[in-house]
Amino acid sequence: PVAQVNLMIRSGGADDPAGKYGVAALTASMLMEGAGSRGSLELSDAIDFLGADITTGSGSDTSAVRLHVRLDMQ
């Protein structure tokens, strides 16, 4: 069994400020570079420890964070 969690935000590249194109894409990619007291390596290690996979992305109308975890039922 697996768990899949999708966080969709109704804001993407079309909502970038004038003259600052790519802000949504940059924000989505920076989410994996660390958060709070954890840098990118600590975040990556924690995700690997859980056996999870996290992806981020941004389209024209939405941005998303997706979490996929295999649930070990031993």
Give the rounded distance of the alpha carbon of 29 from its chain centre: 7
Tokens of 16: 């970038």
pLDDT at site 73: 55
How many other CB atoms are there within 10 angstroms of residue 56's CB atom? 16
Q: What is the pLDDT along the chain (74 residues), one digit of tens a residue?
A: 899 999 999 999 999 999 999 999 999 999 888 878 888 999 899 889 888 999 999 999 999 999 999 887 55
| DSSP, residue by residue, the chain | -EEEEEEEES--GGGSPTT-TTHHHHHHHHGGGEETTEEHHHHHHHHHHHTEEEEEEE-SS-EEEEEEEE----
